[in-house]
Amino acid sequence: MTHTSRWPDLKRLLREELQLLLTFKPSDRLWQMPFAAALATGLPLLIGAYFDHLDYGLVSSLGGLVFLYLPNTPLSHRMVTLMAGAFAMTACYTLGAMSHFFPLLMMPVLVFIAILATMVCRFYDLGPPGSLFFVMAAAIGAYSPLELLQVPLMVGLVAMGTLLACLIAFFYSLYALRLQAPQPARPLPPASFDYVVFDAVVIGLFVGISLALAQALQLEKAYWVPISCLAVIQGVSLRAVWTRQLHRVLGTGVGLLLAWGLLLLPLDKWTISLAFMALTLVIETAVVRHYAVATIFITPLTILLVEAATRGQASPAPLIQARFFDTVLGCLVGLAGGICLHSPRFRAVVGGPMRRLAPSRLVRQAAPGPGA
């Protein structure tokens, strides 16, 4: 094929990518939902600021992220789902924090959590953000500079954040169900081996590979790499994986400029808390419409979540450069994992031995995966 004949295909691909980048999806999400999410993640910060312990508020706000798993189902199903998510968030953070004291176990623990969390999310048909925040809680816990006797305190703060999120979700649901009829709770799909087991193992292994690369490169905040990897690799198709990693890199690039501007401002504990709530409000409004736009605001939010407690102690320029490199590295590993995950040849070569190790009942229920 000549260069001239390839040019129309290249122009078509570029046109499709540009169209996807400029397309905003419609949404029926109530505006009260982003507001409630901002309260769930921001109130712990305000409480921490009031008691002059913003670092405690930041840890507790991590538990508040469980609010984002609230399904649009009847009240009883909503609360059971959210309380189960609250337990999982606390457990993942606890395991991550405990692995901090055993550096050689950090990667195996994170791989285990990524595999198990992905399996559970897929088995129970839990929608976006899937296992992302569970792995994020574990990764942040693993790299938090804790002493051994601080672990129970930090775990308690995360648990209190999840409790507050459940309370806010309960009162929000009482109001929202008067405005919008709930969707019926769907019966659980069959426990497909490919979808539940094989995909989860591959995702977990690539999350581990991304962390291993980050550690080999001696990155200061290595946990950003597996978080970016997991956010990309969870696409439902190879095209979705490619689009998501492209949107994440572009959105992160613009978001880092926004984060740079925020970090240059004379932020105090109160303005950080309000900025955190405002960013959450914008993200939850935008994420169902356009992922790249949401990523612009996710980037400064995640930076504030981890770095706000040490605000003003260092120049933001090295931090911005490091976060962009972390994101690009994680996205590239996630893209490589997505290619393997959606490759029929890879699934046939690797999936066969895995099926022989699995219980026969589960294998009989297996259905073709997304790449088959």
pLDDT in tens, 31-48: 888 899 999 999 999 999
Mean pLDDT of 310-315: 57
What's the pLDDT at 161?
95
Helices of type H across 65-198: 75-99, 106-123, 132-142, 151-179
Q: Which of 128, 89, 90, 136 is nearest to 110 (CA)?
A: 136
Distance from CA of residue 105 to its chain's centroid?
Answer: 22
Amino acid at 263: L
What's the pLDDT at 86?
95
Distance from CA of residue 140 to its chain's centroid?
Answer: 12
Mean pLDDT of 244-273: 80
Indicate the helix (H) or strand (E) that contains 300.
Answer: helix 291-307
pLDDT per position as a tens digit, 53-65: 888 998 999 999 9
Tokens of 297: 């605001």
Tokens 């002493």 correspond to 147
| Residue 283 three-state SS | helix
Mean pLDDT of 148-161: 93
What is the number of other CB atoms lying within 10 angstroms of the CB of residue 315? 10
Structure confidence at residue 362 as a pLDDT band (50, 70, 90): low
Q: Which of 177, 164, 161, 160 is nearest to 78 (CA)?
A: 177
Report the alpha-carbon distance of residue 85 to residue 93 in Å, rounded. 12
pLDDT at 370 over 60: no
Ramachandran area for residue 218 (φ above 0: left; ψ -120 to 50: alpha; else beta): left
Mean pLDDT of 10-23: 66
Phi then psi for 65, rounded to 5 degrees? -65, -15
10 vs 210 pLDDT, higher one = 210
Structure confidence at residue 5 as a pLDDT band (50, 70, 90): low
Mean pLDDT of 230-244: 72
**Angle, CA 303 vertex, CA 302 and CA 304 arms, to 5°:** 90
What is the number of other CB atoms lying within 10 angstroms of the CB of residue 304? 23
Q: What is the mean pLDDT of the chain?
A: 82
What's the pLDDT at 238?
64
| Residue 69 three-state SS | helix
What is the number of other CB atoms lying within 10 angstroms of the CB of residue 281? 20
Tokens of 337: 């994992």
| Residue 257 near residue 323, CB atoms below 8 Å | no
- Lowest average pLDDT, out of 92-96, 112-116, 292-296, goes to 292-296
